[in-house]
Structure formats: C-alpha cells, structure tokens
Amino acid sequence: MPESNWNQQVITEFRANGGRVGGGFTGAPLVLVHGVTGFSSGYLNALEALGGERPVVFYDQLGGGKADRPNDTSLWRMERYVDELGKVREALGLRDVHLYGHSFGTMVVADYMLTGPRGVRSVVFASPALSIPRWIQDSDRLRATLPQDLQEAITRNEKAGTPDAPEYQAALMAYYQRYLTRTMSDEEMGKALGDLNQAVYNYMQGPSEFTITGTLKDYDRTSRLHEISVPTLFTAGQFDEATPDTVRYYQSLMPHAEVAIVENAAHLTMIDQPAEYVRILREFLRKAEGGS
C-alpha cells in the first residue's frame, strides 16, 4: 500500500514515536517487533534490505527508543505490548501483513497470534524466547562456558545486588561477545545498550540476559504454539543464546513450521550475518505469498 494512501497524520505521529516505513510495495508489509524490553528497533536496520519488494515497518515499543517512556509500571505488561501491535496495524491500515518478532518480540507476536487476528500471512520467530524457564536453563549452561573467574564475578555480584560493578559488567560483555553478537566491539555494544531503558528492562526481565527475575520469568507458550497455523519460520544463530536445540524444539511443536540456523552468528543474527539472514527471510516471505 503506497504511503500516499495512508492517513498522513497517523504517519506523522507514528514516526514521531520512533516508527519508520520503507521499501517497495509489491508484497504484503512486514511488521518488525523488536526484542529487549525498553529498547528500540534500530538494531534491526539490516532488514531494510527487504524493502525492495514490500513495506518494512519499524516501530519502537512503549518505554524504549523514541516512544514514550512513562514511569507507570502498570503499563509494562505483555497485554499492553500485544495491544500496541494491533494498534500499529490498525493505524497504518495494514490488512494483510507478515509479522517478524525477535527475542522478546517473539513473545509479543505469539500472544498476538493467539488472539486470532485476521490477515496475517506468515510469522517469523527470530531467536525466540517462547519459554523463559527453558531460556533460564539454556543460560545457566551457557554461563558455565565462561572462564571460572567471570562465573564467580557474576555469582558474587548477583548475590550482593551489585550489577553495576565493573567486574560484573566485564563478565556481561564476555557473555554477550559469545552469545549476543560475534561482530560488535565492546565499544559498539556499549553504545547500543546505552539507549536501553533500564527501568523497563529490570522490571520485566532482570539485571541481564542470563538472569531473569522480572515479570516475564514464568512466561511459557510452548503448550499453545500448535494453535498458530499460518506459515512460520524459526531462525537462530549458531551461537545464539536462544540455542539452536531449543529453537528446533519449538519448531517440533509446529509441524508445518520451518527452521533456519545461521552459521557464524549469535543472537543478533541480522548484525552478524546480514546478507545471509536477509536472503533466508526473503525466500521465506516469497514462498509464504506463493512465489518461487
């Protein structure tokens, strides 16, 4: 749908809150639901390359990026983020869409799909977090691969409640270099994470990617994934904190779904291997629309 046919006031307000729409208009729009509570959609910029054949819609969820950052914790609920996705579709007049969720965004997309929305052509669950109890198990195993001194620093500071301690932050970066992104430097990662709304992140998730103590800690939708019947693709990086074994387990719960594991990539697969990742997504979206 050409942008000129959209309500211009809606587009203006959408952009003011961190939203962007780009690309061509032959295929159904792709709506991106970013990961990390309290973050922005900017790290997904590589997916703009899909815009040659369809609109690609970016938006910042409440509490992060350019969106409003209220201090009202009653708004930091999964139901609110699910409703927000529906409002984006409604405001932009997106009758037929593909949905892409990354990490935390997969929770939003899964719960949105379980409301029975119409017009969703396909779903991509990228580096999914569809069972936080399982995520915690995987994180414990991945933490055990760190050098012993870093493991001890993590344990010591979590017991003391001092996640800002330099030694804890150093251990965090070592974990992220292995399982978050294989290509970003500490400086680049620190700059990217500097935009994180820590209040939302701590409230819903906890002090880190591997210590989940927030309101999401009991989230698990594995028993209901079979209810999602549209074409579905699961993706993960070879060294993803959403481990390939777990992602294949999710796929096994949806017999019609596909899975793609990207080599030499971690959780931020679109940053570590952008060309290959975009190729995988493009082929899936074309197939979901009946193309070759």
User: Which residue numbers are catalytic?
Assistant: 103, 240, 267
Integer CA distances (angstroms), 247 to 19, 222, 236, 269, in order: 29, 11, 7, 14
Q: In angstroms, rounded to a whole number, what is the distance separating the alpha carbons of residues 21 and 8?
A: 12
Residues contacting 228, CB < 8 A, separation 6+: 110, 113, 114, 123, 254
Instruction: Judge whether 100 and 126 are in contact, CB under 8 Å.
Output: yes
Q: Which of 39, 73, 40, 38 is nearest to 58 (CA)?
A: 40
Q: How far is CA 187 from CA 168, 184, 193, in A?
A: 16, 8, 10
Residues in the chain: 292
Give the Å distances, CA to CA, from 163 to 36, 153, 202, 271.
Answer: 18, 10, 11, 26
Crossing angle between the packed helical segments 78-92 and 8-16, to the nearest 10 degrees: 140
